[in-house]
Amino acid sequence: MPAELEGLHEECGIFGVWGHSDAARLTYFGLHALQHRGQEGAGIVVNNNGVLKGHRGLGLLTQVFSDESSLAKLPGDKAIGHVRYATSGSSSIDNIQPFLFNFYSGQCALAHNGNLTNCPSLKRELEDQGAIFHSNSDTEVLMHLIRRSKAPTFIDRLKDALNQVHGGFAYLLMTEDAMIGALDPNGFRPLSIGRMTNGAYVLASETCALETVGASFVRDIKPGEIVIVNDEGYHIERYTDNTQQAICSMEFIYFARPDSNIYGVNVHSARKRMGKRLAQEAPVDADMVIGVPNSSLSAASGYSEEMHLPNEMGLIKNQYVARTFIQPTQELREQGVRMKLSAVHGVVAGKRVCIVDDSIVRGTTSRRIVTMLREAGAAEVHVRIASPPLRFPCYYGIDIQRTSELIAAHKSVDEIRDYLGADSLAYLSIDGLVESVGLHDDAPYGGLCVAYFNGDYPTSLGDYEQQFLDSLSEEERARVASFAKLSSSYTGNEFTQYPNSSKKVD
């Protein structure tokens, strides 16, 4: 939750089904299982005998589809849906997906999870050619590229377009006669195929959505792949061989639901291993372990079991915290009013406690937690973080855009410990993370992206390169330079070549 509290957001979840009589309702439940990936907007487009129709809106899925009548208007046996996290200032209905395009030659719907590194330059080129954009999302660009391609078939035009967009993306398309999923050459975002008992195929950002709708797991989509689902079943094609797996490690650390499996690895179990490994790397002398609810409970459980310490509920999260627009005033905050998280006096008073958290972004919430625990009577407060320090922005779909927001970009672990007011502080190592996840891919870092920890971005940064460099202070630039030296990919042209190293997968 601290990640959540401090504004670390995933940018989307996608779900689609082909061949179920109640497709919109099924998509509703699939998206419901993915709601944690985006709470600011949602939409569903159905395909009813080749006619596409949609509904979308701002807010939680339950607000956008507030009653049966909202589903009743979406008959059909194929559907795709989307839940969206909107960066502040762009929360316009125009940006809510799936986008539905009506051409005289037919209809097409499009949804997207990720971030393109060359979107601004693509948009500029397209506008110079007369293109008009109606949203400020990266998603729309793909459709313009498809429409301008001169390739013979829709799939060929799509491949053409996919080779022009760079960065992190998982696309989901619905045409009149097919549902298509596509993943970027690094596979930054997860995307899986499942199959229902009636034979319907589903595509989903996480396997938890497969389980929610009663579908069995078929296979993960791999970097550079397209999956095409139609009445004949599904088949896989590739639009590039220039791939290298680098799945976002924050999916394992924080974003994904604990019951999801990514590339065969259960997220809860990975987190529990991170907690155990953290206990080995940084043991503590304390009376109890306390997980920060809810996202750190798995890691805390692993840590406590490895340490043979009781795992206690010393912090409690208000389960009704969402969607309030009423906040404590500064005066009330100073008087101790706390809405979201409370320390449990009856549990921690007089004890030496060790809190386990998934990550630290700005540090303000962690600091508040330490203070709360001390005020509730804790004798000592130790902090253990089940991931490495966050030091760099992400340009592939997580909302960490400025190093100024990241306390570890500016402070050493000792300085952070002092800022938090903790008795001790330790992070998990990058190696510990990679081994705890245990993907065993032979790409760098076992197939994980760890760029926000060490600056070793798997791709060129494209249009963001200058912004990234500009956002660094003099001191930070030096820090980046030193990392660059340590990182084999940080050679002179590391931001301009794409991709700088690759291997064939599959």
The residues annotated with a catalytic role in the active site are 12
Contacts with a copy of itself in 209-228 (CB under 8 A)?
A: 211-215
- Measured from the CB atom, the residue of 67 and 474 that comes closer to a copy of itself is 67
Site for a copy of itself in 436-455 (CB under 8 A): none
Which one of residues 52, 61, 361, 430 is an interface residue with a copy of itself (CB under 8 A)?
Answer: 61
The reply on whether position 280 binds a copy of itself by CB under 8 A is no
How far is residue 192 CA from its own chain's centroid?
Answer: 15
The secondary structure of residue 292, as a DSSP letter, is P
Distance CA 287, CA 350 (A): 10
CA distance 59 to 36: 12
Binding track over 79-118 against a copy of itself, x by CB under 8 A: --------------x-------xxxxx-------------
What residues from 366 to 405 belong to the interface with a copy of itself (CB under 8 A)?
Answer: none
Site residues for a copy of itself, 452-491, by CB under 8 A, read none
Residue 354 Cα distances to 12, 201, 301, angstroms: 33, 45, 12
Asked if 175 is part of the footprint of a copy of itself (rule: CB under 8 A), the reply reads no
Give start and end residues of each alpha helix (H) in 213-309: 249-250, 267-281, 297-307
Q: State how far the alpha carbon of 154 is from the alpha carbons of 14, 173, 175, 177, in Å.
A: 21, 11, 9, 11
- The answer to whether residue 288 forms part of the interface with a copy of itself (CB under 8 A) is no
CB of 264 to a copy of itself, least distance (A): 9
139 counts as binding a copy of itself under rule CB under 8 A: no
Instruction: For residue 198, state whether it binds a copy of itself (rule: CB under 8 A).
Output: yes
Among 164, 230, 240, 342, binds a copy of itself (CB under 8 A): 342
Listed ranges 43-51, 191-199, 247-255, 377-385: which one lies at the site for a copy of itself (CB under 8 A): 191-199
Q: Give the residues across from 110 on adjacent strands.
A: 99, 173
Residue 133's H or E segment, with its range, is none
- Does residue 328 touch a copy of itself according to CB under 8 A? yes
* Nearest distance from C-beta of residue 308 to a copy of itself, angstroms: 9
Q: Which two tokens stand for residue 179?
A: 């549902």
DSSP H helical segments within 39-153, as ranges?
61-64, 68-72, 119-128, 139-148
SS3 sequence of 177-202 = CCEEEEECCCCCCCCEEEECCCCCEE
When asked if residue 420 is in the footprint of a copy of itself (CB under 8 A), the reply is no
Stretch that binds a copy of itself, among 165-173, 190-198, 445-453, 481-489 (CB under 8 A): 190-198
Question: What is the Cα–Cα distance from 227 to 204, expressed in whole angstroms?
Answer: 12
Quick one: which of 90, 233, 310, 473 contacts a copy of itself (CB under 8 A)?
Answer: 310
Q: For residue 287, state whether it binds a copy of itself (rule: CB under 8 A).
A: no
